Chain A
């Protein structure tokens, strides 16, 4: 197992490229769905201690719509796609041409809005996943996507708990895709958290040694 805190430059480059390819495909899907030009930020690969990780995602109790896909197979890990609630509403409204769709109605999740949201985010997260599987050539199985609208910290800590038995750090590959035209910008963040056991498989799949 690679110690999280000692990644070489080339390893970091590989991880950035993974973020690039995954989010690039998702951005293309989002562009097709919205019929709009979509921008993508250069991926940030970072190793964050648990104590800071939730601050790092922009406030632990920030309410977000979060979609999670578990990956099993050669490269276990978790992919999240997270948006602020109002941004997610903009995304779904743009896509469906239904300007009144809501995600939260009277303090409760709106069933129709949530169902549309699930479908949209499923397409985006699946694009990311497919690109990851193609790029690495590994056998990966996605779970069904799980949706939760709640505090960012509560959603993300689910995956931190999974790796917390062996580490106090999370490796996060963070890529944002955004639509900045119109009055309401949409910025969605992909977070890919590979399981620490998967690092060597990941690096070998793209032809570099575990120790760089």
Chain B
């Protein structure tokens, strides 16, 4: 895999890479990893999103990287200032699982599925339709994206590795 670095994105975090570097986030459960990229410019950004909507925030200085609506706006803005062209942006998604089967804290039921919906809705506002996604289910995922090839590698504990 070449000379590039592997850039890691934490939870509620967002970063941009250019080829030959690759970008990775680990342990996605109900959180969702959104990759946006411009393949011919070989630039990509990854956001590790926790919650669907920033209107849920109950804090004064909200972290824009935490919510689907604000994180995707930021991601597009940062990509464009790093040489990506907005019309050429493509998306790949993974995550949004339901890790535990239960119904306790009612506003957080199906948070994974709600994250997936919120991301798709926000992307469609920007006229971006995801190229590929691996979402839902009940397993954790670690993902790695290579901006040179546009491939997203997904690893799980039980199902091994897959590429979308």
- A residues adjacent to B (C-beta < 8 A): 50-55, 59-61, 63, 68, 70, 72, 107-108, 143-144, 146, 148-158, 160-162, 164-168
The 5 closest A-B pairs by CB, nearest first: A153-B27, A154-B140, A60-B27, A154-B29, A60-B26
Closest to B160 in A: A107
A53 CB to closest chain B CB (Å) equals 7
List, in ascending order, chain B residues with CB within 8 A of A50's CB: 10-13, 50, 66
Give Cα A60 to B25, complex, Å: 9
* Band of interface residues on B: 20 to 34
B10 and A59 within 8 A (CB): no
Assuming A146-B102, A157-B28, what are 19 further A-B pairs, CB within 8 angstroms?
A: A50-B11, A54-B11, A54-B26, A59-B26, A61-B140, A63-B157, A143-B102, A144-B102, A148-B100, A149-B157, A151-B27, A151-B140, A153-B140, A154-B99, A155-B29, A157-B29, A161-B31, A165-B58, A165-B59
Mark out the residues of chain B between 52 and 101 whose CB falls within 8 Å of any chain A CB in the assembled complex: 56-59, 63, 66, 97, 99-101
- Show the binding face of B for A, using Cβ within 8 Å: 10-13, 26-31, 50-51, 56-59, 63, 66, 97, 99-102, 104-105, 108, 111, 139-142, 155, 157-158
When chains A and B are docked, how far (Å) is the Cα of A108 from the Cα of B156? 12
Provide the bound-state CA to CA distance between A165 and B63, in Å.
Answer: 10
* Assembly CA distance A151 to B105 (angstroms): 22
Count, A-B residue pairs, CB within 8 A: 111
Q: Which of A59, A148, A157, A162 contacts B11 (CB 8 A)?
A: A157
Q: Is the CB of A152 within 8 A of B27?
A: yes
Smallest beta-carbon distance A170→chain B, Å: 10
A168 engages B12 (CB within 8 Å): yes
B27 touches A61 (CB 8 A): yes
Known: A54-B10, A149-B157, A157-B11. A165 touches B99 (CB 8 A): no
Q: How far is the CA of A155 from the CA of B28 in the complex (A)?
A: 9
Are B157 and A143 closer than 8 Å at their CB atoms?
no
Q: Which residues of A contact B50 (CB under 8 A)?
A: 50, 157, 160-161, 164
A126 CB to nearest chain B CB (Å): 17
